[in-house]
Structure 1
Amino acid sequence: MDLYYLPLVSACRTVLMVAKALNLDLNKKLLNTLKKEQLNPDFIKINPQHTIPTLVDNGFTIWESRAVAVYLIEQYAKDDSLFPKDPQKQAVINQRLYFDMGSMYPSLANYYYKVFITGENGSEEDFKKIQETFDFLNTFLEGQEYVAGDQYTVADIGILASVSTFDALEFDISKYPNVAKWYENVKKITPGWEENWQGAQDVKRHTVIALSEMDFYYSPRGSGCRTVIMVAKAVGVELNKKQLRLTEGEHLKPEFIKLNPQHTIPTLVDNGFSLWESRAIAIYLVEKYGKEDSLYPKDPQTRAVINQRLYFDMGTLHDSFIKYYYPFIRTGQLGTEENYKKIEAAFDFLNTFLEGQDYVAGNQFTVADIAILSSVSTFEVVDFEISKYPNVAKWYANAKKITPGWDENWAGLLQMKAMYEAQKATSK
């Protein structure tokens, strides 16, 4: 059984929980509707309505989550408890499923999902529709344990997927006591709840990102700026890029100094919160907007190593580039031989860090790899011979392939390379 799905979609999570309740193994095929993957011709052949979830069971194709859920129960359940054969019980379950589709989900979409179109939540009237929907559900649950009576059914699973999404988006369910009591119970007894909750949290992450207004002051040539661009790409954040021409003194304008009195780039302004220094920005983006903590794990020892590598990048690796190559780009004169030895020492250190491990801070790709990738790639465009350091060269070849935003990083470097080559030609 192939299931085409996206975890943040509550309807998909309904099917996942029903399958879990039936002990069915689904061949999950992620279909990112945010990237319009549902419009691929191969998928349209499977489902001309191109919606998810879509189930393909030995050649039989069915979509619409509630239809899929009922099909799985009727086809594979050991008994009919989740969808009893009694016509009256079925009728109430169906009413609740249609209520979920026709009232609960539209109220969610019309208020919270408008952010993906307009950048803002819906109107006060849209919010009142949510409250009205929860009032109805609270009434349905008066004097009974489950949404369709005194028996746990597929209706509870479908409505749980929706209510948990409201919960993740911080709607105050406690105002509806019957709903709150039911919700606490069904969370405990529904198989697959943990996976459902992870998907609901993904909804929250995407709406927070969509609501954010992040101005990013940068230069595409700056190593720190390119670090932030790649980290933002890795966590799925859209930056409102505002290029500053340092050669024209745009970073010294009073309006920018109000944002950053140190008048440096990159500078991020996230809904009024202003932050500069690329590595601080990178960690902030991961901690606030990252789906999970893999880029900057919460374990103190792991973080300590990542932090050490980030400080090494700023204080040793990037600093060695500035002292030897920046003078040439600006004046046509390279730094001293002693400055060059600092570069070699920095790469020796990095080569040692990478001995016996895949990434700069251990065996996991982290924000430290992204920051150091930005720096090492800068050395490449000035023809520094990275191949002399085998561990670095191996890591670098891999990091280029797996780091989101690498192409934009390289595009910025090509601008720097053009400046470098122009200075070389002038200096001859």
Structure 2
Amino acid sequence: MTPKLYSADLSPAVRASLLAIRALGVDVELVPVNLMEQDHMKPEYLKMNPFHTVPTLEDGDFAIWDSAAINIYLTEKYGKDDSLYPSNPEARAVVNQRLFFNSGILFPRMGAIVASLLREGAKTVSKDKADSLTQGYTLLETLLERSTYVAGEKLSLADLSIIATISSANVLVPIASNRFPKTTEWISKMQALPYYEEANQTGLNKFIGMVKSKLASGIIELFVIAAENDVIRSVHAKMPLTLHGYNLSPPVRATLLTLKALGLEYNHIPVSPAAKQHLTPEYLKLNPLHTIPTLEDGDFVIYDSHAIIAYLADKYADGGALYPKDVEKRAIINQRMYFDCGTMFPKFIEVIRAFFAGAKTISKDFIARITEVYILLETLLENSTYVAGEELSLADFSVVSTVTSMNTVVPLATNRYPNIIKWIERLQELPYYFEGNQEGVDKLAAAIKSMMS
């Protein structure tokens, strides 16, 4: 049976999957989804994808959504080789990190501008949103200064996801070639792919038409920010892993939970963003995106918690129960981790940034955004014991670290979210939960309380 991709190519996420399908040479039936006619809200669509997003892939009785999770699934099940998604744990971890960079940074920043045009009626791109997106360009430029493609010297799934986002973002906040020469050169490489025109440019043209119709006089205003001056180890290795991070951070706590669940020894080096320790030359050498956590494993360095924990499970547990190699189970776990990275965490961090900017209360808008996340998570947990099925997985560690952090600013109502409450209580029974997550949550709650007073 031919897999079906429910799609609307105006969407960058859909185009990322179309690029992967063409690159893989997979036979997939495309089923158009008319977003204007609310096809994605119809009962039959919601049965496949309760998040009502595009794209959604249906492969027999199996359905999966989120373009990155879809692309990984298609590659692992139908790919002729591992060139786009390497089987080597270190190379794969780098590709994963770049995919999460797209999902958690580039795509949400581009999406925030689109949302302001479509939902809020904005006629120009605001300076703060343009600045935020330009910062994303700066990070991408930093990555491309080190390699030909975004995850190394070969084309990968990460390139296909990021070009779909970046080509769309370029419509909103143009990429200056003199400021971002490596990014401009990489875009040209991607445009030279034999399937680029069909898989990305056709939908991108529709996106351009939509954007221009929403902006004043069809003119895109540009704002820019000022220029800113293989040793394989066993679990019992003598030199442990090194984790850089601060446990107030949900992504750091997701990594701590994984390390403890796998029984791995590690050194923990505190890195406090409040003290600007993530911006020191030493740290930037490890992680040019200056995020936490960062993991060192010998000479190998990887950042983004989702990529880190997948790497740890693959290398030290051969996938194991937390990240099984079954392609369908892993696809669901990946989708849930991208839900955390691209939807949950960005909404939470917006609130934290508001506090650091001097806010003393949580706005109704922020409450509404976090409530949307709670509703989606409650839906996921209606029919399963854990967020990705009936067994504990890496996705639980990512999601619980974020949702318990959200709970410190917008408390979960027991009567409204009974499934979430039961699931959290289930995770609290894990012998490593308190040290891995709750200690950091308590510190975060105290910090937020101090900022609100």
Q: How high is the TM-score relative to the length of structure 2?
A: 0.46
Q: Which has the larger radius of gyration?
A: 1
Q: How high is the TM-score relative to the length of structure 1?
A: 0.49
